Structure 1
Amino acid sequence: MSDLECISHHIYDKISSIQRLLDLSDVPQDKMKTLGQKILSLEILLEEFETTVGCQKDQLNQLKELEELFHNHVEILQHLKDNVPAHMSKEKGPEIEKEPSPNQDQVPNVEPIHHNIAKNIKCYVREMEFITTAEFESIPQYMKGRVSYSQINAAVQSINTAIAAKYKIIHQPVKTLKNHARKLLQRFKDQETKETKGQYFVVEEDLREFTQMKVDKRLQGIFNMLRHCQRLREQRGGRVTRYVLL
């Protein structure tokens, strides 16, 4: 039972007691004194009751403010949830630069590195950064057509998937590859040129091999948008178009 309810019951008891005294006829002097004391105590209880009611009102107002603040936070969180981009931009990792191979006469006498250490070295594979909303808005409307922001970044994700799968095969020792992977590796090497040496690129065959993307006119439009956003460049030759990451 709350303090407010206790006080209410106590006041009700006092009032009932006073009512019984008033109902008595020919009230003696000593009873009148008792009645006065009870009325005085009742006045004190009423003051306490009013104070308690005031405190309860203050608490109620504070609860209403908290409720309103809570609803505002819920609306903000719901807005954030509904508008989180499907793809977030990632920071570039450090690229491993290849040092130029020294001439035969300049090779120092160095002991060979243990093969276990070489196995633990992971080759870094570049990824294409996702398109930001600002970059997407900067693309001319005639170039975007009906392609949405989420669709262009879904294409970026598929390109990254193809690059990861392709260069995983390239970085593996040949003896660990199965027949199909060896054929792919040979194709990758045949498609290399002097201009693409040491760079990451994909061709349409890679997208068909490693992703579910449809290679059609719509994809060509996406490539144009990615080129506009400086995510890739095209390098043609040998009847193959190479999409080289920038």
Structure 2
Amino acid sequence: IASSDLEDLCFHINAKISSIKKCILLRNIGEDELRKAVLHKIGNEVILMHELLNKMETEVKQQEKLKDLLKEIEKTAERDQNEAQHLNEHIPPYLPKPTQSCITVTTGKLEEQTKAVEPECAKKPAKETKLIKEAALITTEEFESVPAYMKGRLTYDQINAVVQELNKATVAKYKILYQPLKTMSIPVRTLYDRFMEEETKDTRGQFFIVEADIKEFTQLKLDKRFHSILNILRHCQRVREVRGSGLIRYVIC
């Protein structure tokens, strides 16, 4: 046997002998009544240390999960920010632009037909601003909230096109109502008289039109689709109906 192998064998045997001696010593110590309490205390502390290590391991795992969750939230926030930036830079052209709910028309004061003709040197009546209320366009959120049975195959653009035509008829009607009587032609005066006859106590101070106004001032067809759109506009509180004397008055909300 080589000397190196013999030395390794001796070292191994000596290590085993040392381990046996330690075991015998520990067994003797364990049988010693004076040291049992100390050994019991050490055993309890080892158990507590083991439990503490388990808790630390659990906490480390939870922190790792939290770290992964925060990374996912960060990625989601970055993605949402990029999408918002893209939408801000590519706003669809068909979305309604902010508009005033009213337009202004400057006219002279309304004059009664029976008013006496003033002298040429008399001062002209002061100009005053008249407001004509218009219905706001339907927003995409409102369009999405309309029940499917009510929308059918109607599109967002078709509904807002009708809103614009109703506003067109309203503006045309009230421009005539705000026009001085002496400047009216016979056809315009006929329209004016009809407008006044259609007024009721329920529409006083309100802006409204009837189907005759829609036919007079727009190219809309008063068909089934038109009335379906009117139902949507009532649902979205753009118009409301006032009935009476065989007429349906569409009041601008």
TM-score range, shorter chain: 0.5 to 0.7
TM-score, reference length from structure 1: 0.57
Gaps of 5+ in 1: 1-71, 96-113
- Please give the residue correspondences for 1:108-123 in structure 2 after superposition, counting only pairs within 5 Å: 116=124, 118=126, 120-123=127-130
Give the corresponding residue for 1:152. 159
Q: What residue identity is the alignment partner of 2:187?
A: H
Equivalences, count: 153
- Paired residues of 1:89 and 1:129 also in contact (CA < 8 A): no
Residue 90 of structure 1 deviates from its aligned partner by 2.0
1:132 aligns with 2:139: yes
Question: Structure 2: how far apart are the matches of 1:178 and 1:94?
Answer: 24
- Match among 81, 90, 95 for residue 80 of structure 1: 90
1:58-113, CA deviations, whole angstroms, 9 ceiling, x for partnerless residues?
xxxxxxxxxxxxxx9xxx599726x2225324243599xxxxxxxxxxxxxxxxxx
Question: Structure 1: how far apart are the matches of 2:176 and 2:211?
Answer: 17
* Percentage of identical aligned residues: 47
- Please give the residue correspondences for 1:1-246 in structure 2 after superposition, counting only pairs within 5 Å: 80=90, 83-85=92-94, 87-93=96-102, 116=124, 118=126, 120-246=127-253
Question: Structure 2: how far apart are the matches of 1:87 and 1:94?
Answer: 17
Q: What residue identity is the alignment partner of 1:129?
A: A
Higher Cα radius of gyration: 2
Question: Structure 1: how far apart are the matches of 2:103 and 2:223?
Answer: 34
Question: Structure 2: how far apart are the matches of 1:180 and 1:93?
Answer: 27
Residue 217 of structure 1 deviates from its aligned partner by 1.2
Question: Structure 1: how far apart are the matches of 2:172 and 2:131?
Answer: 13
**RMSD between aligned residues:** 2.5
Task: Give SS of 1:131's match.
Answer: coil
Structure 1 residue runs of 4 or more that deviate by more than 3 Å after TM superposition: 76-79, 91-95, 114-117
Residue 229 of structure 1 deviates from its aligned partner by 0.3
